[in-house]
A and B are shown apart, each in its own frame.
Chain A
Amino acid sequence: MNIAVKGNLEEARDAAYALPLDQVNPAQGILFQTDTMWPYFERLRKEDPVHYTADSEFGPYWSITKYNDIMAVDTNHQVFSSDFSHGGITIGGGQANFEPLPMFIAMDPPRHDIQRKVVTPVVSPANLEYLGPIIRERAGKILDSLPIGEPFDWVDKVSIELTTMTLATLFDFPFEERRKLTYWSDVVTAVPGHGIIDTFDQKLAVLQEYHAYFTELWNQRVNASEVKGDLISMLAHNPATRNMEPREYFGNIVLLTVGGNDTTRNTITGSVLALNQNPDQYRKLRENPALIPSMVSETIRWQTPLAHMRRTALCDYEFQGKHIKKGDKVVMWYVSGNRDEEVIERPNDYIVDRENPRRHISFGFGIHRCVGNRLAELQLQIIWEEIFKRFPAIEQVAEPKRTYSTFVKGYEHFHVVIPKRN
Chain B
Amino acid sequence: MPKIKYIEHSGKEHEVEVPAGWSVMEGAVKNLIPGIDADCGGACACATCHVFVDPAFEAKIPPKSDMEETMLDFAPEIAPNSRLSCQIKVAPELDGLIVRMPKSQH
Which residues on A are within 8 Å of B, measured CB to CB? 71, 74-75, 109, 113, 116-117, 120, 123-125, 128, 358-359, 363, 365-367, 369, 373-374
Q: Closest 8 interchain pairs by CB?
A: A365-B45, A75-B45, A358-B39, A124-B76, A125-B104, A366-B45, A365-B40, A125-B103
Query: Could you say which residues of chain A place their CB within 8 Å of the CB of B103?
Result: 125
Cα distance, A358 to B48, chains bound together (Å): 11
Query: Could you say which residues of chain B place their CB within 8 Å of the CB of A374?
Result: 104, 106
- List the B residue with the shortest CB-CB distance to A68: B43
Cross-chain contact B106 with A71 (CB below 8 angstroms): no
Query: Could you say which residues of chain A place their CB within 8 Å of the CB of B8?
Result: none
Cross-chain contact B74 with A117 (CB below 8 angstroms): yes
B37 within 8 A of A: yes
Cα distance, A367 to B103, chains bound together (Å): 22
Query: Could you say which residues of chain B place their CB within 8 Å of the CB of A125?
Result: 76-77, 103-104, 106
Pick the contact of A120 from B45, B67, B76 — CB < 8 Å? B76
Cα distance, A75 to B65, chains bound together (Å): 13
Cα distance, A71 to B37, chains bound together (Å): 17
- Those of B55-106 within 8 Å (CB) of chain A: 67, 70-71, 73-74, 76-77, 103-104, 106
Cross-chain contact B74 with A75 (CB below 8 angstroms): no
Cross-chain contact B37 with A120 (CB below 8 angstroms): no
Cα distance, A125 to B46, chains bound together (Å): 16
B41 within 8 A of A: yes
Q: Smallest distance from the beta carbon of A116 to chain B beta carbons, Å?
A: 6
Query: Could you say which residues of chain B place their CB within 8 Å of the CB of A366?
Result: 45, 71
Which residues on B are within 8 Å of A, measured CB to CB? 37, 39-41, 43-46, 48, 67, 70-71, 73-74, 76-77, 103-104, 106
Cross-chain contact B43 with A120 (CB below 8 angstroms): no
Cross-chain contact B67 with A75 (CB below 8 angstroms): yes
Cα distance, A366 to B76, chains bound together (Å): 16
Query: Could you say which residues of chain A place their CB within 8 Å of the CB of B74?
Result: 113, 116-117, 120, 367, 369
- List the B residue with the shortest CB-CB distance to A121: B76
Pick the contact of B73 from A74, A75, A117 — CB < 8 Å? A117
Query: Could you say which residues of chain B place their CB within 8 Å of the CB of A367?
Result: 70-71, 74
Cross-chain contact A373 with B106 (CB below 8 angstroms): yes
Cα distance, A117 to B75, chains bound together (Å): 9
- List the A residue with the shortest CB-CB distance to B106: A374
Cα distance, A124 to B46, chains bound together (Å): 16
Cα distance, A75 to B67, chains bound together (Å): 9
Cross-chain contact A365 with B77 (CB below 8 angstroms): no
Cα distance, A373 to B47, chains bound together (Å): 12
Query: Could you say which residues of chain A place their CB within 8 Å of the CB of B71?
Result: 366-367
Cross-chain contact A75 with B43 (CB below 8 angstroms): yes
- List the A residue with the shortest CB-CB distance to B73: A113
Cross-chain contact B40 with A71 (CB below 8 angstroms): yes
- List the B residue with the shortest CB-CB distance to A368: B74
Most B Cβ at <10 Å: residue of A109, A116, A123, A369: A369
- 16 A-B pairs with CB atoms under 8 Å apart are A71-B45, A74-B45, A123-B106, A124-B76, A124-B77, A125-B77, A125-B103, A125-B104, A358-B39, A359-B39, A365-B45, A366-B45, A367-B70, A367-B74, A369-B45, A373-B106
Q: Smallest distance from the beta carbon of B31 to chain A beta carbons, Å?
A: 15
Q: Smallest distance from the beta carbon of B15 to chain A beta carbons, Å?
A: 25
Query: Could you say which residues of chain B place their CB within 8 Å of the CB of A71?
Result: 40, 43, 45
Pick the contact of A365 from B37, B43, B73, B106 — CB < 8 Å? B43
Cα distance, A345 to B39, chains bound together (Å): 16
Cα distance, A120 to B43, chains bound together (Å): 22
